[in-house]
Amino acid sequence: MAEKPEYLRNPAGYALDVSRQLGEVAIKGGQAWSNAIQKMWRAPTGLPVDPTDFGHAFLDFTQAWATNPQRLLELNARWAQDYFGLWNMFFRRVAGEEVDPVVSPAANDRRFRSDAWSDKLAFDFLKQAYLTVGRQLQDLVAATPDMNEASRAKVDFFVRQYVNAVSPANFASTNPDVIAKTLATGGLNLLTGFSNLLDDLARGDGLVKHRAPAGFELGKNIAATPGSVVFQNALMQLIQYDPSTDKVCKRPILFVPPVVNKFYHFDLSPKTSFLKWLVDQGHTVFVISWVNPDESLAEMGIEQYMADGPLAAINAIRDATGEDSVNIVSFCMGGTLTAATLAWLAAKGEEDRVASATMIATLLDFTAMGDFSVFVSDGHIAAMRKYLEKRGFVDADDLTRLFSVVRANDQIWSPAVTHYLMGQEAAPSDLLYWFADGARIPERMLNDVNENFVHGNKLREKGGVTIAGVSLDLAKVTTPVTLVSLKDDHVAEWQGTYRGVHLFGGEARFILGGSGHNAGTLSSPVANRHGYWTNAKTPPTADEWLAGATKHEGSWWPAWEKWLHTHSGAQMKARKVGSGKLKPIEPAPGSYVRMRS
């Protein structure tokens, strides 16, 4: 006899749970409604993108096919073969045969991990039919004749968003895990999920909650590497970490994070902390913690961020340690800012202030930006400028929404299924905690970045960018440089970051790590995963580099640190924080990192 579902084994408890959830739904429904009314009366700020830009792309798409009907008939014939193969597979499985799938999910596609998607014929057929049609739609875009490539990229992006949205995994009636959960709980999961949905609606940020709300506390179990703030100005606090070894390298390290993210991505839980690991290797480590700006800092642009960021930090480190030069380690747009700083110092004849520079997941040539390229055009940039004029900054939620759309399956649909259909909270994650703790960008800084780097793509050009009256030329930079990229990076695709090695005038090395933009950087040797590739040569193209590269198991950290060590000077007695001219202001991680958007 089949075992009773859990809710039937404890009907009294089930009734109490339903009553409690109905009460919460009533309360949260009122909160969500109140929030919606308030938002209706707020002054509109417009959209940070230009919707007509996408409309023009779809117009190009439809016109191209309207003038090439014969090509469309050829595609239809090929698709008919796909459907024949799909139904043939289905009927052979009905007859009891073991049949290989017609199409399978990508290895990193986590939507169909449940055995039910393969073991149960109806769900297996539904999965394969969905994957087949999704592939056909993308093939349709790729095969569109005589189409502007920029328009093709935009249509392809939106087709993939549509395909992701209509996945059978996203609906209660076609997801076998949700059906099983609903039967086991008497539908309590759907009631709980509706309550979770109302929670998110009440917040009003348009985002799916990604993490459990408790479990992490800055300075306790996250961003917890011991140290002190030793310098600060309007834009940043400079943290110096306590030594954990008796001896340290003479030359200190300065870590420069991107202005859009808080620095503790590299100081999450102690077992994954990159900054703690560097300290444990015998380095004196400093890190910039950017302020979370409001409208009062709207006019702070690239010139101020360079002067009050890396340049001010280099001077402060000299006061703290007596050392005239540093090794800079940077990430993403922090790396782009670092490259500009190196060119600025080279033009001023002060290049020896930086002994080496490492740029992780950093674009210097923005010719190709992957999915983000669809949001870079004259129309979008003009819309963003108008949007910023009314606020003075771009909010962290706006940026989170952009990153979420680009990774919709991981950042939108998967958590939506977990929270709204399964009625579950996400397991606590230090990385997701950090991801949700975003920061604003001032109006002028974002406009400067778009004009000079992203849309303008001027940093790669001799004299293309001028900062504080100084013309920049990366070819004049002879500081030894290592670029570290991640193979599955969706923000800074590694083929694009590789082009940066050919822009500098001195030694430039390249290391390719495994995994993606965020997870790939957290490649602790303790975890011993992801792997990495090295190649002593830097041929003209990324594909040539990879063809001649050697694959290694484990973490890229030790291999990179071995190179860093050659630029770190002799060993000396470990420095205590405050032993130089700069005294502790407050304990790490400081107060700037606690500023919420």
Point out which residues pair with 287 in neighbouring strands.
239, 255
φ, ψ (nearest 5 deg) of residue 359: -120, 115
Burial class (CB in 10 A: 0-12, 13-18, 19+), 529: middle
Distance, CA of 518 to CA of 398 (rounded, Å): 19
Query: What's the first-to-final CA gap in the chain, in angstroms?
Result: 56
- Residue type at position 59: L
Catalytic residue chosen out of the listed positions 332, 396, 446, 472: 332
Q: How is 186-255 classified by DSSP, letter by letter?
A: TTHHHHHHHHHHHHHHHHTSS----S-SSS--BTTTBS---EEEEEE-SSEEEEEEPP-SSEEESS-EEE
Q: Is 332 designated active site?
A: yes
Question: What burial letters (b/e) apply to 377-393, b meaning 16+ CB within 10 Å?
Answer: beebbebbeebbeebbb
Distance of alpha carbon 372 from alpha carbon 44, whole angstroms? 25
What is d(CA 124, CA 567) in angstroms, rounded to the nearest whole number? 56
Peptide bond preceding 168: is omega within 30 degrees of 0, i.e. cis?
no
Q: What is the DSSP letter of 491?
A: S
Q: Which residues pair with 586 in a beta bridge?
A: 229
Catalytic center residues:
332
